[in-house]
Structure 1
């Protein structure tokens, strides 16, 4: 859930500042947005994020919490409440006294990589954007130099937890669940790209940032690196290259020019991970197999080798046609040329169909009378 520059070399530690600078927020979210003073609320200007584009104009501002309230919720940040940690700091499970609600509390490391700018961007983004496939921000704390974020608790952890190093006795992800997660994550990305106004580029899509609720319902989390996308005649947003090594689109890593198609590439990597059970970058593999895309590209060219790409943990229990279609979508998303990648709406169409095809390992058949939609094609723009 932490982040590093795409080059793989993390920035040096930055000193914390007690005040959030206006120019920092503008650079991080995009030049055409402004920080909102005081209580967070939707700006009425046409350049602010407008969630009403998808029919939801209601907006609930994030709550503010004192550090004492959150310390109490986590029993003084006890080790047994720790859910995980990364470059940003630590995440604890807690219970709010005021509502008796179970929550996840992220305490940002005061000497870590995620600073004031990313903290404020995440608060602003998740206060303004609401969708069933985006994690819900309940509130935040900015007492002194303490920076904490309070989210809804996602009981099944991250997608990464269920794909790699799965402990004995833990349920393995079956084919149906994998397609459900992929389709849901794509819908969250579609909301950011097509429903938010202006569009939002997520910029840090990876398995550890896809959290799972009851029934393996997926939600995108960690919006500290998100940026407002290009508007008007602009084709891209120029920014310093940030993200996670192995997930960055090649054109973004090389030029710093960020587009919505940069997110589509990252999604393709995630989809490949879901299908293959391999990590985006795995240094424990042989030299030619450490980079997931480099390993997959030769196999994409021969349909007879598609079965070699299925996660061994599936134990052969997957629909061959569904595997081919899912790999075809992933292959298009990770095209080196951005304009050859599909838009996320077409990816959602394809994966929603695949998720609707319930595979029964006992009968080795698909139960659905629906006809398959056309495979998404690349579309220029965005």
Structure 2
């Protein structure tokens, strides 16, 4: 059995004062010492703890899997989870909020009150999917698995006081027995437990139903099913026509050793790179030629979990490799009626899968010399990165001459579709625009800091900010992005500078030097455009002034910053917030990169009601006229592709 251990550490903003961070860290250590014993001493192996006083209070909880009945084993299991969190987390981030998933004994601690949030409706689910699909009589087996999960969930919800159940299903065919488990924290009522688990079951749509296994979690509940036994004791319920052999008394589980560490934790490090390598082999031109002329295959899937040190910062996406015929069927042969837009890398189409899921399909142009580079970049990056403010990549297709990226469809197109149109701007009041600014900032913060691989986007602009049904922003188009290790966040290009003029930092446009501060510069331009409704690259819209940045600086210097804000926003209502945003934007577009804030600073300034931003200096491009030009390999059209959702990163 493939053993998958996945630990997610939710790193958030640093506390403003080191002394306060030390106090919070000390409280975390007190929790780590006490919770293993308290959990094992509880009759239901569940415990919560609150240590310290505001603003350094730590709320924590832990529980053991329902079939771990031995008190000593439970205590060791919880202690092992804490040890893994501390071992996998860089020392300087040890004191941030953390959550562990996909382990036998989950642990959660935070500066927010997670204990009283019993329903956790806002928790983002974290999922791992078995890369293999059901074989044989798919309809029969998928139906039986669904019934198994429904029955297991129902039993767990009604199983007081543990809220825990296990099950097994025999299809009566050569398909192996499927085992299931479901559990809620024991403090949930039967109704809340059932609602929590049913919400997770809703993630198994027609696309994912044929998978041979999955684990889906939130803080208060989870379920898992696999085609091999993974829990102790016999199943509590059975589905199927045949009698089932009991689960082994010594199941195939990681053997616990000193410190609770499993020898099998190394398996993902060996297996997963092979899986990823197999995917790129599948997408290679050689294999494409080999497949050419053969009948179209059914959808193939790959498990896009990276090596253990690469998956710490985001849950794995359910990533699929699509067949070209599926793409043709979904878009009515790429009909003009389904075309959403045309960019430098190719066209984007709206499509629909057989299960009704709406998707956006980026069909890379065959004539684009950089097309395959962008294709590979987006596949590598977005499949690993997941955040509520990043675009969500569902899969790809590489067949014959086609290179296709598949995203979840977003109905509200891109940000420029709204902010540069006077009629559509009226649909966005200040509270929504402020939320969009904050959302973009959180997305960049994740890319720059909270992702284990630091990512520099290099092409942040309104047309690359997509909006979901609730107008939440999603950063898209990672074709020009660069990744770095955690200790390196700067580079320079020896090739042609790429990106969009008007949003490029001066050191990048003139010398090819890019860093996280390059994205900060682009963010500053973006904020000025959101506030004013004017394009930085359209100098005629700023009267006789050279560009939007210079115009904003002149108004700021003269104390007339309110003249920059679009009249539809009624500055008098939220004047303090608007002035702060202009101040932050001008700090972001400083000429020298060292004078610009980091996204950590930007998010802190945006979210704090008391923090006063520094006074900006004269910005970059003050004496430069910016034309309406774009780098030759940048996609320019605005269209909606789609989003990624992941954990909310919030300061403690």
Q: TM-score, normalised by structure 2?
A: 0.46
Return the offset for 1:78.
Answer: 1.6
Residue of structure 1 in register with 2:491 after alignment: 237
Match of 1:149 in 2: 405
- Which position in structure 2 is the counterpart of 1:52? 312
TM-superposed CA distance for 1:318, in Å, is 4.1
1:254 aligns with 2:514: no
The equivalent residue for 1:30 is none
Q: Secondary structure at the match of 1:211?
A: strand
**Secondary structure in 2 aligned to 1:85?**
strand
Preserved CA contact (<8 Å) 1:62 1:123: no
Aligned: 1:275 with 2:531: yes
Distance 2:376 2:614 in 1: 36
Aligned partners of 2:406 and 2:451: how far apart in 1?
A: 23
Q: Which residue of 2 aligns with 1:362?
A: none
Total equivalences in the alignment: 318
Query: Retained in 2: the 8 A contact 1:281–1:290?
Result: no
- Does the 8 Å contact 1:342/1:377 carry over to 2? no
Matches within 5 A, 1:341-380: 341-353=596-608, 371-375=609-613
Answering whether residue 561 of structure 2 is matched by residue 306 of structure 1, we say yes
Q: How far off its partner does 1:38 sit?
A: 2.1
Deviations 1:212-244 (A, max 9, x none): 012211100100111013654x56211132111
- Cα distance in 2 for partners of 1:63, 1:376 equals 47
Higher relative contact order (CA 8 A, sep 6+): 1
Give the alignment partner of residue 94 of structure 1, picking from 351, 368, 381: 351
Contact 2:410 2:466 in 1 (8 A): yes
**Structure 1 pair 348/326, CA: closer, same or farther in 2 (3 Å)?**
same
**1:171–1:377 Cα change, 3 Å:** closer
Alignment partners' CA distance in 1, 2:542 and 2:612: 36
Identify unmatched segments of 5+ residues in structure 2: 1-274, 280-301, 617-652
Pair 1:228 & 2:476 matched: no
1:137 and 1:152 in contact (8 A); partners too:
yes
Task: Name the counterpart of 2:453.
Answer: 198
Distance 2:479 2:546 in 1: 28
Q: Deviations over 1:287-326 (max 9, x none)?
A: 7435221222222223x21111001332546411111111
Displacement of 1:167 = 4.7
Measure, in 2, the Cα distance between the counterparts of 1:236 and 1:212: 29
CA shift, 1:84, in A, is 1.4
Residue 336 of structure 1 aligns to a residue whose secondary structure is coil
TM-aligned CA deviation for residue 254 of structure 1: 1.2
**Of 286, 292, 317, which residue of structure 1 is paired with 2:548?**
292
Flag the 1:248–1:44 CA change in 2: closer, same or farther, 3 A: same
Q: Deviations over 1:6-32 (max 9, x none)?
A: xxxxxxxxxxxxxxxxxxxxxxxxxxx
- Indicate the RMSD between aligned Cα atoms, in angstroms: 2.4
Counterpart of 1:73 in structure 2 is: 330
User: How many angstroms apart in 2 are the aligned matches of 1:157 and 1:290?
Assistant: 30
Residue 176 in structure 1 maps to residue 455 in structure 2 = no
Contact 1:229/1:260, CA 8 A, preserved across alignment: no
Q: Is the CA contact (8 Å cut-off) linking 2:458 and 2:480 kept in structure 1?
A: yes
Normalised TM-score (structure 1) = 0.77
3-state SS of 2:350 partner:
strand
CA–CA separation in structure 1 for the residues paired with 2:371 and 2:475:
20
Shift of 1:83: 1.4
Q: Which has the larger radius of gyration?
A: 2
The answer to whether the 8 Å contact 2:454/2:489 transfers is no
Aligned: 1:37 with 2:291: no
* Residue 351 of structure 1, CA deviation: 2.3
CA 1:278 to 1:61, structure 2 compared with 1: closer, same or farther past 3 Å?
same
Contact 2:535–2:541 (8 Å) recurs in 1:
no
Question: Given that residues 323 and 399 in structure 2 are in contact (C-alpha distance below 8 angstroms), is that contact kept between their aligned partners in structure 1?
Answer: yes
Instruction: Give the SS at the match of 1:142.
Output: strand
Say whether residues 1:134 and 2:374 are aligned partners. no
Shift of 1:171: 4.3
Structure 2 partner of 1:32: none
Q: 1:151 to 1:193 in 2, by over 3 A?
A: same
> Runs of at least 4 residues of structure 1 off by over 6 A?
none
**What is the CA–CA distance in structure 2 between the aligned matches of 1:213 and 1:317, rounded to whole Å?**
29
SS in 2 for 1:215: coil
